[in-house]
Amino acid sequence: MERQTSMQKVQGVLHKYPYLSPLIVLIVAMTVFYFANHRFLLPGNLSFLTQQTVIVGTLAIAQTLVILTAGIDLSIGAIMIFSQMVMANLAVSASASNVLPVAGQNPYLAIAIGILAGVLAGGMNGLLITRFNLPPFIVTLGTLSIWTAITLLLFKSRTIQEPEIPATLKWLGSTFQIGGFQLLYGVILMLIMYVIFGYILRSTAWGMHIYAVGDDPAAAQLTGISTKRVIFSVYLVSGLIIGIAGWVTLGRVGSASPNVDPLLNLDTITAVVIGGTSLFGGRGVLIGTLIGALIITVVENGLSLAGFDQAYRVLAVGILVILAVAVDQWIRKVKA
C-alpha cells in the first residue's frame, strides 16, 4: 500500500459515502441560518421546511432512478401536473363546471386513474428511449411540451378550486401533531417511499442492475443484463412515483391548476445532483437526494428568514449545483 495524502483520504471517504458531502452542507447551512435568525430552528419553521420539501422530495425519487441509469427526465413536472389534473377532474362533482363528461367518480378510483396516467406517461418515455434509441434528454424535452399541451387542451386551462375537490384527494395535505411539529401525511408517505426505494436500490437485483446499466451499459449488456428492459422499467416506475407525487401535490397545494411551477423539473435535478448522485449515471445513493431536496428548501427558507431577496436564494441554489458537480468530478478521480 502506497501512502495517501490526507486529501486523497478525504477523496476516498467521500467516494465511499457519496451522501456525506451533502450532509455536511446541510448541517453547516442549518447552523449558519440558526445564528442568522434563531427562529430558523423553531418547530414551526422546521415543520414548514418539511412541507416545502414534500413535492420536490417525492418527485426527486423518480429523477434519482432515471439519473442513475445515466438518463434525465425533463417531463417529470409536466407528467405530475397532468396526473393531478386527471385526479381532480375525475373526482370533481358533475354539477361543477368541469370539462370532462366523466366527472363525479369515486375519489379513490380518480386517484388510481391519475396514478395510472403517470405510469403510462412514464412508460411512453421509456418506450421512446429504448425502442427507438432516442436520447432521454430529447425524448423528455418533447414529452414535457406534449403533456403540458395535453393538460391545457384537455382541461381547458381551468383551475379547480379547493372547495370543489373531495377531501380524500387532499388527505395527504392534512397534518398531525407530534410535539410542536406539524407533519403532513404526505411527508410520511414521502419518507416511506424513500425507505422502500432505498431498499430496492441497495438490496435487490433490479437495483444492482440499475447501477450497472448506468455505469457502463455495454458491459452490463455483455454480462447478460437486458439493458433496455432495465431502462424501460425505470421510466415506468418513475411514472408511478410521479403519479403518487401528483396526489401529494393536490394535498399540499389544495387546488388543481394546470399552471403550477414549471421549474419543478429543474428543482428535482438540482436535488439529485446536490445529493451526490452523478449525472453520468451509476453512482449515488437515494438518501443523498432527500438531503439535496432539504438543502434547497433550507437555503431558500434560511436566506428568506435572514432577510435576503428572492434573487439571492436562486443565486445560492445555482452556485450549489455547480459546486456539487465539481465535487462529483473530483471524487470520481479516486484511485486505490
Partner 1 sequence: MTTDLSTLQPVVEGKNIVKTFGRVVALDGANLALYPGEVLAVVGDNGAGKSSLIKCFSGAYTPDAGEMFVNGEQVQFKSTHEARVGGIETVFQTLAVAPALDIASNMYLGREIRKPGIMGSVFRSLDKKEMRAQASAHLKNLGITTLQNITQAVETLSGGQRQAVAVARAAAFGSKVIILDEPTAALGVNESARVLKMIQDLRDRGIPVILISHNMPQVFEVADRIHVARLGKRAAVVTPQTASMNDVVAIMTGAMTVPEEEQQLAPVRVPAPMA
| Residues forming the site for partner 1 (CB under 8 A) | 15, 199, 203-206, 208-209, 211-212, 215-216, 218-225, 282-283, 334-336
333, 14 contact by CB (below 8 A): no
Which residue's CB is nearer to partner 1, number 29 or number 213? 213
> Which residues make Cβ contacts (< 8 Å) with residue 253, sequence separation at least 6?
173, 260
User: What are phi and psi for residue 285, nearest 5 degrees?
Assistant: -125, 150
Which residue's CB is nearer to partner 1, number 108 or number 199? 199
Name the residue type at position 173. G
Cα–Cα separations (whole angstroms), residue 44 to 47, 58, 64, 172, 211: 5, 22, 29, 19, 39
Which residue's CB is nearer to partner 1, number 137 or number 206? 206
Smallest distance, Å, CB 325 to partner 1?
A: 17
Which residue's CB is nearer to partner 1, number 109 or number 219? 219
Which residue's CB is nearer to partner 1, number 209 or number 252? 209
Which residue's CB is nearer to partner 1, number 6 or number 223? 223
**Sign of the C-alpha dihedral computed for residues 31, 56, 207 and 244 taken in this order:** positive
Compute the distance between CA of residue 316 and CA of residue 320 in angstroms, rounded to an integer: 6
Smallest distance, Å, CB 288 to partner 1?
A: 14
Smallest distance, Å, CB 207 to partner 1?
A: 8
Smallest distance, Å, CB 227 to partner 1?
A: 11
Compute the distance between CA of residue 168 and CA of residue 34 in angstroms, rounded to an integer: 37
Smallest distance, Å, CB 276 to partner 1?
A: 13
**DSSP conformation class of 42:** S
Radius of gyration from C-alpha coordinates of the chain: 21
Smallest distance, Å, CB 56 to partner 1?
A: 26
> Which residues make Cβ contacts (< 8 Å) with residue 221, sequence separation at least 6?
227
